[in-house]
Amino acid sequence: MSNRQNCDSGSLSALELFERVTIQGDKVRSLKAAEAPKDEIDTAVRLLLSLKLMYKATTGQDYKAGSPPTDFTPVNNAPALAEDDDFVDPWTVQTSSAKGVDYDKLIVRFGSSKVDKELISRIERVTGQKPHHFLRRGIFFSHRDMNQILDAYENKKPFYLYTGRGPSSEAMHVGHLIPFIFTKWLQEVFDIPLVIQLTDDEKYLWKDLTVKRANEYAIENAKDIIACGFNINKTFIFSDLDYLGMSPGFYKNIVKIQKHVTFNQVKGIFGFTDSDCIGKISFPAIQAAPSFSSTFPQIFKGKEDIQCLIPCAIDQDPYFRMTRDVAPRLGYPKPALLHSIFFPALQGAQTKMSASDPNSSIFLTDTPKQIKTKINKHAFSGGKDTIEEHRKYGGNCDVDVSYMYLTFFLEDDDKLEQLKQDYTSGALLTGELKKALIETLQPLIAAHQERRKQVTNEMQGISTQPVKQDQTNISNVIFNLWQKQ
């Protein structure tokens, strides 16, 4: 079923929604009977759950097969209406708008706080550093308790960073760099420890992968993460499949979290069904555990009161809403969060990119020629159909993917603003805007590829010694059990 079919459902009548749910339920059953790929079944199930939520928001009643709606009272509920417009969970992002997800509505629905000018000014004042362009341009747009983090910094109290990557393919794309670019800036500005979780266990559970292949993807992705240039004396990168077996602190926190979250809560938060394997149901506790400093006794000397700041895309927020709910019952501080918007696919902002579709994004392994070809051929344009119309009416930067990409990767504010003015006025053509993006991405990716070459392929075991600044052996960096200085 197309994204538009999903997102337009908000305007349907109760009876039409009932029919949509029935049809989608039949589709799910057919896919399961045909033993379709798991990814396809999971996507169909999530859409079914979304339609059921829309049905309930419209009628105030749960969907019941064979019982079409008769008498019902419409429900006026802002979060539910936001869900009608956009569907966002940790695995699926769908919207019918070429501009992408409505993030103001998402803030209301998730109950987070907007990163406003006052917060950005405070970050600049507290750190003495010009805010990152991701903050200035609203790319990191939402937060939870960021003011607490700034309070801690001003009072010289310790805190640490936690982010992650789900290694679903050998090659990462430019969208995957966004949280790491920003996290690197945060680490530099605050001079604090960072832990990076590689959820190869998650990808084994959700994708059609062997354990061995999922772990291999984690190793390859770690090389790209290391190439971002983190302070390796204060960075711990770990694979779940490897670290869990070596860290009693990690497993103890997972069990504590599991005990305080019911099956019904997990189903409600993540949309799991009775047909999902128990590994999926237990996984959220694994992603939650690094939010607590006692998960890393080798770093924090067993201290349990060090707060965590998590930079991540907004679709990961459900994991940490659960975590923040559990934390006080375990005697731990709630993690703070900074949420980013989604990086659009080349074809448009309606969905996230797919690592399995080579034409949906620019990959970190792409050559300069591949980058140029992909942008020229696949980048969705906000320009007009003819040069004459474009010169007269101008282009639409709100939907143009090349301009969207430039907001992420072109650091010069003045140049970006000039491009926007010229494109909007019609003075700049689509091909010229695409050329500006090509000239921005080609050297950026080439430089990343050079840094990645410096990371060796050896994976010989666990290092328990602090890593020295000039070391780039992946086994030392990924599993560096460094001591807090």
**Res 471: pLDDT:** 37
In this predicted structure, the answer to whether residue 170 has a pLDDT above a threshold of 50 is yes
Question: Where in the chain are all domains bearing CATH 3.40.50.620?
Answer: 112-343+463-478
CA dist., res. 186 & res. 144, Å (int) = 16
> 359 versus 80: which is more confidently predicted?
359
Sorting pLDDT into bands at 50, 70 and 90, what band is 53?
confident
Instruction: Report residue 68's pLDDT band, with 50, 70 and 90 as the boundaries.
Output: confident
Confidence category of residue 112, pLDDT binned at 50, 70, 90: very high
pLDDT greater than 90 at residue 328: yes
| pLDDT above 80 for 469 | no
User: Using 50, 70 and 90 to split pLDDT, how confident is the model at 352?
Assistant: low
* pLDDT band per the 50, 70, 90 thresholds, residue 103: confident
pLDDT surpassing 50 at residue 75:
no
Predicted confidence at residue 90, as pLDDT, reads 64
Angle at 287 between CA 281 and CA 292, to 5 degrees: 130
Question: Is 146 a residue whose pLDDT tops 70?
Answer: yes
Q: What's the pLDDT at 271?
A: 86
Q: Could you tell me where the DSSP H helices lie in 34-116?
A: 38-59, 78-85, 103-110
Residue ranges of the chain that CATH labels 1.10.287.10: 3-91
CATH 1.10.240.10 positions along the chain are 361-453
CA distance to 124, 149, 151, 265, 300, per residue, from 154 (Å): 12, 9, 5, 37, 20
DSSP, collapsed to helix, strand or coil, labels residue 289 as helix
Mean pLDDT, to the nearest integer, of 8-20? 61
- Give the residue with greater pLDDT, 108 vs 69: 108
Whether residue 10 has pLDDT greater than 60: no
The pLDDT of residue 18 is: 77
pLDDT beyond 70 at 176: yes
The domain 112-343+463-478: what is its CATH number? 3.40.50.620
pLDDT at position 31 is: 81
pLDDT of residue 460 exceeding 70, the answer is no
Average pLDDT (309-330) is: 95
CA distance 75 to 27: 28
Q: What is the pLDDT of residues 183-217, one digit of tens each?
A: 999 999 999 999 999 999 999 999 999 999 999 99
Q: Quick one: average pLDDT of 327-331? A: 96
pLDDT classification of 354: cutoffs 50, 70, 90? low
**Residue 342 neighbours by CB under 8 Å, 6+ apart:** 93, 100, 101, 175, 313, 314, 315, 349, 352
Average pLDDT over residues 255-266: 93
- Band of the pLDDT at 177, cuts 50, 70, 90? very high
Question: Does the pLDDT at position 478 exceed 70?
Answer: no
Tell me what the pLDDT averaged over the chain comes to: 84
Which numeric CATH code is attached to 3-91?
1.10.287.10
> Cβ contacts of residue 416 below 8 Å, gap of 6+?
406, 407, 410
Alpha-carbon span 328 to 143, nearest angstrom: 19
State yes or no: pLDDT of 77 exceeds 90: no
396-406 tens-digit pLDDT = 999 999 999 99
Q: How far apart are CA 154 and CA 104, in angstroms?
A: 30
Identify how many contiguous H helices and E strands the chain contains and give both numbers: 23, 11
* pLDDT above 70: residue 72: no
Q: Say what the pLDDT of residue 259 is.
A: 96
What is d(CA 330, CA 322) in angstroms, rounded to the nearest whole number? 13
Higher pLDDT, 254 or 56: 254
Tell me: pLDDT of 89 over 80.
no
- In this structure, what is the dihedral angle of CA atoms 444, 445, 448, 453, given to the nearest 10 degrees? -140
Q: Pick the more confident residue, 7 or 198.
A: 198
Residue range 210-237: mean pLDDT, rounded? 94
Instruction: Check whether 479 has a pLDDT greater than 80.
Output: no
* Total-model pTM: 0.78
Domain 361-453, CATH: 1.10.240.10
User: What share of the chain in percent tops pLDDT 90?
Assistant: 61
pLDDT grade for 38, boundaries at 50, 70 and 90 = confident
